[in-house]
Structure 1
């Protein structure tokens, strides 16, 4: 039984490893596409989450996806997703539920400005963040 569970866990981890595809569509805008490059939140040298920015339907979204292997080893984390403009203001900030692995920001009306997505992973009082690349 233990061996079977380990095989299943390894298969699931492999599906969510870097490069593995999973659905990424902002709520309410099926035509949105990723803009800029993906950033990675690292905690203690380990990748905890991916941070991406999407644009479409006249809006921008920040997106944070916590990797399965990191989430399996950490409880009670929170994820924050937002879009940040060059004046360092956050737009569409959303704080996910406890242990929520996928968080979209609210749609931000910032397509006419330079932006980047901000992703934050918090464990208790500690937090780690990353920004996707800046897009104008």
Structure 2
């Protein structure tokens, strides 16, 4: 009986770990009501997840969002900069590109007036020794 209970507890813990993700506030400081569009993109360094990148719409604008995972930050300290933006098919760089100061774990882009065109959310995590970035899928 004790072995079965122990196995059940271990199985439940494994399931909880499998579905547990990083805590993400996702509260846009510039627009009170946003909705994620498209799938989340994960920025990786080898097999390790560095950050999540998402695209949102709200307040008649598109928003890029980047969240640096706790596990990455705990191993690499706060000597990095996270940023977010929006790409269109014709933009030469990320629109609304913005991010907090060094060590900021969450970055929201400035809003882009791009709801009438196809867009992708952009996120980056950079330091003096590495640079990682990613784009979400295109949404039209």
Same fold (TM over 0.5): yes
Quote the residue 1:78 is aligned against.
81
Residue in 1 aligned with 2:101? 97
**Residue 79 of structure 1: how far off its partner (Å):** 1.0
What is the TM-score normalised by the length of structure 2?
0.79
Aligned residue runs from structure 1 range 1-136, under 5 A:
18-19=20-21, 22-75=24-77, 76-89=79-92, 90-136=94-140
CA distance in 2, matches of 1:79, 1:43: 15
1 or 2, which has the higher strand percentage? 1
Most deviating of 57-66 and 90-99: 90-99
| Partner SS state of residue 40, structure 1 | strand
> Pairwise CA RMSD of aligned residues?
2.0
Distance change (3 Å), C-alpha of 1:127 and 1:67: same
Secondary structure in 2 aligned to 1:28? coil
Measured in 2, the distance between the counterparts of 1:71 and 1:44 equals 16
Alpha-carbon contact 2:61-2:113 (below 8 Å) kept: yes
The TM-score normalised by the length of structure 1 is 0.81
Counterpart of 1:118 in 2: which secondary structure? strand
Instruction: After TM superposition, give the deviation of residue 74 of structure 1 in Å.
Output: 0.7
The ranges of structure 1 where at least 4 consecutive aligned residues each deviate by more than 6 angstroms after the TM superposition are none
Structure 1 gaps of 5+ residues are 1-13
- Asked if the contact 2:86–2:97 (Cα under 8 Å) also holds between the matched residues in 1, the reply is yes
**Cα distance, 1:56 vs structure 2:** 1.1
Residue deviations 1:49-72 (CA, integer Å, cap 9, x gap)? 000000011001000000001101
